[in-house]
Structure 1
Amino acid sequence: MNTTNFKLSGLTCPSCVKLVSNRLKKVSGVQEVNIDLVSGNVMVNSEANLNLEIFKKSLEGTHYLIIK
Structure 2
Amino acid sequence: MKTAKFQLETLTCPSCIKKIEGTLSKMDGVENVKVLFHASKVKTQFDESTVQAEELKETIRKLGYPVLSTKVS
Query: What TM-score comes out, normalization by structure 2 length?
Result: 0.74
Deviation at 1:41, TM superposition (A): 1.4
After superposition, give the CA deviation of every residue in 1:10-51 in whole Å (9 maximum; x if it has no partner). Answer: 521221111011111122200100111011111101122622
Equivalenced residues, count: 66
Give yes or no for contact 2:3–2:45 (8 Å, CA) kept in 1: yes
Residue segments in structure 2 that go unaligned for 5+ positions in a row: none
Q: Which runs of 5+ in 1 are unaligned?
A: none
Pairwise CA RMSD: 1.7
Identity of aligned pairs, percent?
30
- TM-score by length of structure 1 reads 0.79
